[in-house]
Amino acid sequence: MSSTSVGAVRNEPKPKLLGNPAYVYSHIHICVVHGIGDQMPNETALNFMNNFLRALPQGSGYKIEVDNLIESVDDIRDDPAPGKPPRSFHPAFLVFTSDHERRNYVIGFSEVYWQNITNAYLAKNDGAPPIPIFIWAHSVNTRMLNDTSAFKSAPSTFKKVRKVIDDLEKLLGLLKKLAVIFKETETFLRILNRFAGDVQMYAESDEIRGEINERFRSVMSRTRDFACRTVNRLPGAGFDSTSPKVYVVAHSEGTVVAYSTLVEAAQKNEPWFGNVRGLVTMGSPLDKHYFIWHNRFRLREFSSGPSERKIIWHNYWDQNDPVGYGLKELFKDADSDAHKLFHLGYDSGFVRYPVPGLAHVGYWSDPAIHRDIIHRVMNLTPNSAPTSVKSKWWSWLVPIGDRVGWFLGRLFTLAAIGFFLYKLFTSFPPKHKGSVEIKDVLGYLMGLVVSCIVWQIHTRIHRGLIQMWRYAKGADTAAEIEEAQEQPLKKGASA
């Protein structure tokens, strides 16, 4: 029997110095913000970390050493136990050593996990959001009846967006009818409550919005503490600063959370805000939030001119992604807070993910995006070849695929309608002696009804979603607007 008594505390191994002690150590911290849907704690941050690691340069002159994945997990709940920090987790970190730069980059990863806040509300209300989804969809359209201020400069865009929302609202109504017939559609509607409910709760509820923003603020305010923990794990390392350079990487609805909270933090001059160096958004619906909930955004909070040090912002969006889009509306006003706080390094649409809808999650595993973040956002490889995120060679085939898919969908649905009509007409009178099988007639009639509903759904999807996916071609971006606005400032400075 071992001499070690039961319950005795084991001696932890002594920390090992990672990296090259002859080089300077620099603190970098990445905060990852997830979007809507089913999210598990640590899932998004570790998924990003895995792909980020693979995108770092490897080979001669580079070395990557991962300390761990997670040091300890806090209670992810609204009433943490006394003495325990609320929410989130102590982050993982790695050391990336570059002999070319003669520098060790200590990179920490943490996650702004806010899914349990919206889940808690759904759990208390039998899976239903504060406003029934179909009524809420109608209210979104109603918001745009008179408030056209966001579209005065582009009335055609206003009409297009109104048409998209009209079609999507009708699409939801058709799905509701289909749910009466098929249980599987009812399951889909429950999923819709889950996903669209996240958007609804953040956009409409001050209380839930404030709690989610506070979650973001809680993680960001602890980034310096996280950096201090890595110092203790790397004895003898010579750091150039005790304050980390913080980068926020956000996806989908998480981009709205990140932007809103960063503007609030700048307005309140919160201590951690000064450490933020970069913002990366992927598949961002900020333009749609700005169109629909214009009054929910902080506008012109800062009376002074542009900040001396702006946060670099890279916005990635695929044209096959129905959620993501550019930031033109946010930056079109030279006096806007977005223009004063951020500098757009990238804001262009591309076509890299072939499947519409699934394109919304394609960013996470895209090596080109991760390399661009490493090189142009974080500047970890200044001597490496320039990086870029461009459309794939097959992008020109996408419009053709849209038309072919539309034609085949129409042909299949029309064939189904013709088949059930034929069966109904040939059932009367019966070809064989005996009574008509009522169950067969009802079956054909049900098939005809479903086929007609599918025809209408296909129409709404094409008019709504497909047109929304395609109305942006990647040229009309906020980056060009910002460059045009800054030209007079540059000329004045040189004069």
CA neighbours closer than 13 Å in the CB half-sphere of residue 454: 19
Residues 451 and 462 in one domain: yes
Comparing 272 with 495, the larger pLDDT belongs to 272
Range of the domain at 179: 131-203
Residues 209 and 199 in one domain: no
Quick check: 109 and 30 in contact, CB under 8 A? yes
Quick check: 14 and 236 in contact, CB under 8 A? no
Residue 490 counted as domain residue: no
Residues 29 and 80 in one domain: yes
pLDDT at 97 over 80: yes
Residues 442 and 353 in one domain: no
Domain count along the chain: 3
* Type of residue at 257: V
How buried is 19 (Cβ within 10 angstroms: 0-12 exposed, 13-18 middle, 19+ buried)? buried
pLDDT digits (tens, 9 = 90+) for 173-207: 656 665 555 555 555 566 666 778 899 999 999 99
pLDDT at 260 over 80: yes
Strands (E), 82-177: 89-90, 92-98, 103-112
Domain-ending residue, one of 149, 181, 203: 203
Give residue 8's pLDDT band: very low, low, confident or very high (50, 70, 90). Answer: very low
Residues 354 and 375 in one domain: yes
- In angstroms, the CA 215 to CA 213 distance is 5
Q: What is the per-residue pLDDT for 145?
A: 60
How buried is 186 (Cβ within 10 angstroms: 0-12 exposed, 13-18 middle, 19+ buried)? middle
Backbone phi, then psi, for 167, in 5-degree steps?
A: -65, -40
Nearest in space to 346 (alpha carbons), one of 368, 361, 321, 362: 368
How many other C-beta atoms can be found within 10 angstroms of the C-beta atom of residue 124? 9
Q: What is the per-residue pLDDT for 5?
A: 42
Domain-ending residue, one of 203, 228, 256: 203
Residue 9 counted as domain residue: no
Residue 41 counted as domain residue: yes
Residue 19 counted as domain residue: no
Residues 435 and 306 in one domain: no
pLDDT digits (tens, 9 = 90+) for 208-228: 999 999 999 988 998 888 888
Q: What is the per-residue pLDDT for 374?
A: 96
Quick check: 101 and 176 in contact, CB under 8 A? no
Comparing 306 with 129, the larger pLDDT belongs to 129
How much is the mean pLDDT over the chain? 78
Q: What is the per-residue pLDDT for 258?
A: 97
pLDDT at 2 over 90: no
Q: What is the per-residue pLDDT for 157?
A: 53
Residues 314 and 166 in one domain: no
Residues 241 and 361 in one domain: yes
Query: Which residues lie across from 247 on neighbouring strands?
Result: 30, 278
Residues 68 and 167 in one domain: no
How many other C-beta atoms can be found within 10 angstroms of the C-beta atom of residue 58? 11
State the CATH number of the domain containing residue 96: 3.40.50
Residues 450 and 318 in one domain: no
In 3-state terms, what secondary structure has residue 332?
A: coil
pLDDT at 136 over 60: yes
Lowest mean per-residue pLDDT among 88-97, 231-240, 276-285, 320-329: 88-97
Place of tokens 């394609």: 362
Indicate the pTM of the whole model.
0.82
DSSP structure string for 218-284: HHHHTHHHHHHHHHHHSTT--BS-SSPEEEEEEETHHHHHHHHHHHHHHHHT-GGGGGEEEEEEES-
Domain-ending residue, one of 151, 182, 203: 203
Query: Which residues lie across from 73 on neighbouring strands?
Result: 89
- In angstroms, the CA 401 to CA 176 distance is 29
Residue 301 counted as domain residue: yes
Residues 305 and 255 in one domain: yes
Nearest in space to 478 (alpha carbons), one of 279, 278, 327: 327
Residue 10 counted as domain residue: no
pLDDT at 256 over 50: yes
Give residue 475's pLDDT band: very low, low, confident or very high (50, 70, 90). Answer: very low
> To which H or E segment does residue 349 belong?
strand 342-350
Residues 183 and 164 in one domain: yes
Residue 354 counted as domain residue: yes
Q: What is the per-residue pLDDT for 471?
A: 47
In 3-state terms, what secondary structure has residue 290?
A: helix
Q: The dihedral of CA 175, 180, 181, 182: what is its sign? A: positive
pLDDT at 384 over 80: yes
Residue 18 counted as domain residue: no
